[in-house]
Amino acid sequence: MKIFVAGGTGALGGHAAIHLAALGHDVTVGGRKAPHPATPMATMPFLQGDYVAGDYTADRLRGFDWVVFAAGNDPRHVPQDADFEQFLIKANHEAVPAFFAAAREAGVKRAVQLGSFYAQAAPELLAGNSYIRSRLAACEGARAEGRPGFDVISVNAPFMVGTVPGLPSAIFEPYTQWAKGIIPIPAYAPPGGTNFMSFRSLSQAIEGALERGEPGKAYLVGDENLSFARYFQLFFDAVGNRATVEVRDEELPLLPDVAIPQGRANAISYEPDPAEASLLGYARRDVANAVAEIVAQFG
């Protein structure tokens, strides 16, 4: 199939693009900037654009059989001079459905919207968090654009763990340096935890959704429920640091409280539906493998 991956220059979209290309698909990646030259995505056709600005029109998407949308905006993408909530409304409530409407007009047959797990796994957080509401709006709005002959499926993912060859990481490179003792922060983690999933498992789930997903369905995917202490211990173990990551009820600079929507000391735990996990065909118990790959790349 001829596949366009919006957000294919980033980590999750890039990993999915590499995975789909390895299966023999003809993959084009899209993003605001060209792929990092050291990554495999740099060898793929590139379609520059910003979906928030409406750059991906039907004319530009024409000719693709399938689309993967991995370009959703989160708080990191909000410009400093922008109104936080209004930007997210524009980016997720409005621009995401508009992108899928353009894909339908272009003749795309199947599309996957990569979303966030919070609204399905912890719906009680919706009332107090405009970001989570915006991700739910993107998920529902994208699927609402589906019609006979244009199937839209959402894959909603938890905390992601992994790496793309050659791609720097502002998250996992510091984690590795910390575990090696290069960043002078004590070995501790805040209480609480969440569900984690590897890049590899997510790319497999995206593949499964394209191949076998039920039109209009929102799949809650995930792998392992871990405390934050157990998660960070994987990094220390992988680099050979024998320190034990202890639990402290204080903010960790490498995982600030703003990145824990459920609140410090709380956990979001769930098991994905076994039938859905089987249908999508993604690997389980893969988080430690992903950490090992991160350490091999950044260590």
CB 87 within 8 A of CB 78: yes
Q: Residue 214: what pLDDT? A: 98
Question: Does the pLDDT at position 72 exceed 80?
Answer: no
Question: Does the pLDDT at position 218 exceed 80?
Answer: yes
Q: How confident is the model at residue 86 (pLDDT cuts 50, 70, 90)?
A: confident
CB 260 within 8 A of CB 190: yes
Q: Residue 83: what pLDDT? A: 75
What is the DSSP secondary-structure string of 190-230?
-S-EEEEEEHHHHHHHHHHHHHHPPTT-EEE---EEEEHHH
Mean pLDDT, the chain, rounded, equals 96
CA atoms within 13 A on the CB side of 44: 34
CB 137 within 8 A of CB 131: no
Q: Residue 200: what pLDDT? A: 98
Give the percent of the chain with pLDDT over 90: 93
What does the pLDDT look like over 221-251, one tens digit per residue?
999 999 999 999 999 999 999 999 999 999 9
What does the pLDDT look like over 2-40, one tens digit per residue?
999 999 999 999 999 999 999 999 999 999 999 999 999
Q: Residue 77: what pLDDT? A: 66
Alpha carbons 123 and 246: distance in angstroms, whole number: 30
Ranking 61-75, 147-161, 203-217 by mean pLDDT, the lowest is 61-75
Q: Residue 176: what pLDDT? A: 98
216 closest CA partner among 143, 135, 125? 143
Alpha carbons 44 and 124: distance in angstroms, whole number: 41
Q: How confident is the model at residue 127 (pLDDT cuts 50, 70, 90)?
A: very high
Question: Does the pLDDT at position 215 exceed 90?
Answer: yes
Q: How confident is the model at residue 81 (pLDDT cuts 50, 70, 90)?
A: confident
CB 68 within 8 A of CB 18: no
Strand pairing category for 193-198 and 224-227: antiparallel
Question: Does the pLDDT at position 45 exceed 70?
Answer: yes
**Helix boundaries (H) for the chain:** 11-22, 58-61, 84-88, 95-106, 118-121, 130-144, 172-179, 199-212, 228-239, 274-280, 287-298
Segment 191-219 shows an average pLDDT of 98
The backbone torsions φ and ψ at residue 126, rounded to the nearest 5 degrees and listed phi first, read: -60, -40
Give the percent of the chain with pLDDT over 70: 99
